[in-house]
Structure 1
Amino acid sequence: MASFSLEDDLSCPVCCEVYQDPQLLPCGHSFCRRCLDRHGSGKSSRTCAVCRQVSEQRPVSNLSLRNACESFLREKEKGSDGGVVCPQHGERVKFFCETDKELLCTVCRKHSHRSHKVQPLAQVVEKCKREVKVALRPALDALDSLRYSTVGHTKNNLLIQAQRTERLIKKEFGKLHQFLKEEEEEKISALREEEERKTEYVEESVKHQLESLLGKVRYVEDQLENDDITFMQNYAQLLQRAQYNAPDPQLDSGTLIDVAKHLGNLRYEVWEKMKSTCSFYPVVLDPNSAPTDFSISDNLACVEKSTHIHPCPGPHQRSQVVLGFKGYRYGFHCWDVEVGDSRHWTIGVCSRSAARNAVRNLTPENGFWGLCREGDVCKVLGSTSSWPWCHIMPRTVRVKLGRHFLRRTVSFYDTNKKFKLSCSIELPSDEELFPFLIPGEQSSPLRILPNKVMLNMEQKFNCIEWYIDVQEILMTLCMCCLHGVGYVIFYLVCFLVAIFQVLMSR
């Protein structure tokens, strides 16, 4: 309040601002020079804007008021530059209220914060700075971790991955280059062999013809040297022998290089041969999804549990699931997994969001649909009961993902015995699903088997489609039976299926 009173006393009544070069009238009121000149311009006498008294005398400078105004402005400027001014009272803040966490001026402390815990600003600043620094320490540690530890670790992993991938790419292309080089050498060797063989044949043929003609010419020339009587006696025979009616020596097509044999469809034939050496895997594993204790082969088709812990920068390292690189939303897809003699494994399909979460229960409710083996028991994920053929453990399991009776399903088959290991498991119709593998034992890898490159991939499954569907229906009926008759029917069906397979193989 005192500050506002002082500023009001030092303010011009015309412009309401602090006096600038104040001028004093005879009536005792003061005005800024510019305000006074603007108010009384063109007049011989001046009228006071406050008391309306007319004055004929010229105003004089009010030196005391000018000094007071300049001092006030300097103090105000110093307060604005060196601290914060109280917005309510216009004075510099000098205190801090720890109760309300507010800055106070002298007037605020006397009136509004008299009963609060108030300390001088200079004393409380260091304490508050220490508190802020303590609160900021976790953020600084996290910043250092992101800036140095995490970024450096990630960059190191990226460098290792890039170098390893580049090395494997060069290795694979080296195999292709070696194959092409060997094929080139083999083709050129076959060409050289044919060239040598046919050159030798041409030389022998020409030599034989040359010797025959040379003997004929020498014989006739010798007979020409005989006496006239002898020559005339042999004239008819010599004339006939001297005649040569054979065509000029020339090379037929059989003696030339078989160019069409060496160049015809050369690249296609090499590609056909290359297919036998190149494997196509219907499912390629994603190494970035592998946990730290899993090891994936260089061809990305085999995974096993390892004692060696390796760093994994991927987002799925908390889970125990290895995903396929590509997910499927539509269409028919099929792949074979070799489980071998392993007694603990899990295979199937899952959603990507489910794989990112480290869930313990792999169930359809959690986004996992598959088949697992636990010792001597083989069962569907989420099911508490095993199937009646659980003692017939498969060595290779075929996973079939597609449509079945207008439903999207996944099914599992024993490729050796060629029968279904489970009923078709219904899946979400429009969700993208990824193949997954979980090896449960060390030194017992799970392998994705390669497919042969064929024009129609579905041909390899058509021969058993119809009786697999029949088997599924009969298996469902068997599972509904609670007495031994169901098992008898099931084994009878398996026997009939085996007989059918024998007939189909013939």
Structure 2
Amino acid sequence: MAAPLLEDKLTCSICLGPYRDPVTLPCGHSFCARCIRDSWRCCDKTCPECREPFPAGTEPRRNVALNNVLEVLRGPRPAPDPEPRLADRALCPRHGRPLEFFCRTEGLCVCGACTVNDCRRHEVALLDVERRERENQLRARVEVTLQQITLAKTQLQELQQQNSLIKSSACTLASVVSSRFSSLLQALEKRQALTLRDIKAANKQALAQVLNEIQRLTSHLEALEQYDYKVRDLLEQVDDRTFFQELQQLSEPLESLGPLTPPQWDEDQQLRNLKELLSPLCDLLLEEEHVPRVAGSSTDPGPLESLSPLPPVPNTVCPLRKKLWQNYRNLTFDPDTANRYFYLSHQDLQVTHGFQPQGPARPGSFELWQVQCAQSFQTGRHYWEVRASDHSVTLGVTYPKLTRQKLGTHTDNIGRGPCSWGLCIQEDRVQAWHNGTVQRLPGVPGRLLGMDLNLASGCLTFYSLEPHTQPLYTFHAIFNQPLYPVFWLLEGRTLTLCHQPEAKLPPGPQEEVSVPS
């Protein structure tokens, strides 16, 4: 029983641990030298136990007797640690006690007194446990980064090889086409003269037929007009005797002229004849069996000379994109979250920002120019693609609590706070946003974009897929809530969610993770 009592007497009232280099104040109370100095830095010069104030310049004095007692109790002093303990180098600035806990709500290191007072309703973990967890996450990120570096180097080598092959193939094809066109032009000139001659002959024949019909129709029309004049004159005759005499002399009505003979002119037939003439000439250039080899002869062949084939151009589909497709998710827009100026179509796969509202705002819809997907992700790895009609769009992910209301002058809030991450694509620049911090990126991507979300390693990577697949930016974070894809777009813009026929179905709606109050 004496040992615990002696241990209580040799305990510092600030750090609640055994005295280390004890010192004494003028009031007689003793403390660790570092504890009392750290306490005086953030508080007034008073005794932590009796609250007796001390004038400026007062310094604690080393307690020789207490130091000797501690040396006897401790025995031989062990060799000093190469690195001081966390409690020796970090004390709470508010309470002067060692930092032994980590407040996940505020993201701060705290002491035991903080967990009782300021952080009593927060989510708290042991500092060393949280440190090990964060270190494991960082090591996982390092492994993923190394894999990405290896993959990127391999892809770079493949693209360089493809670049050389394409250049060589393009140069050879250009040389072949140039030589072929000289021959094709000669044949085309001959075919042009023949075609124009046929068109002229057909035109002359058709015009002659039309002229003949015009003359026949004109004669008939004149005869009809004379007969009509005689009949009208007879109807105006008053004398009955004269009427019947002239009626007997009136000839019979003219018979109908009958159907006109249509001219033999068919424009569509002339075009069909032209296509039939040109088709063999085009085949000389376009058909594979008529394209020469790279190592072919340098002499110019004749117009109808058969040619040998070129070697095929290698497939340029990026292996990285094929690998990303293994985790492809088919998504749909959530109509209940769409801004009232947004028009959803194609079974909620396409959204357009119109200039007229589509109706009153729905409960839960964005007052901002934004729309959210119906699907969310909390575990695993997921990839999706979207095509933009133009620039001035933002792609991102967000926790469920992203506000729907407009705050300030911004028309979007993706990446403006700690609960969302976004990539803003403008006409001449790209910006990565998170927690109100912006990272400007070089270059401007194509209109086809991809997003890869790896919740296991805490990575969110954006890709540009045109003209080839390349990563744009990667966010690193500890995602502890469900993530929803979210988008912002300017007036007149259109976004389309791309679907893969063989893609895995996205997981069902996730329940929102409750945060300790």
Q: TM-score, normalised by structure 1?
A: 0.32
Q: Which has the higher contact order (CA 8 A, sep 6+)?
A: 2
TM-score, reference length from structure 2: 0.31
Greater fraction of residues in helix: 1
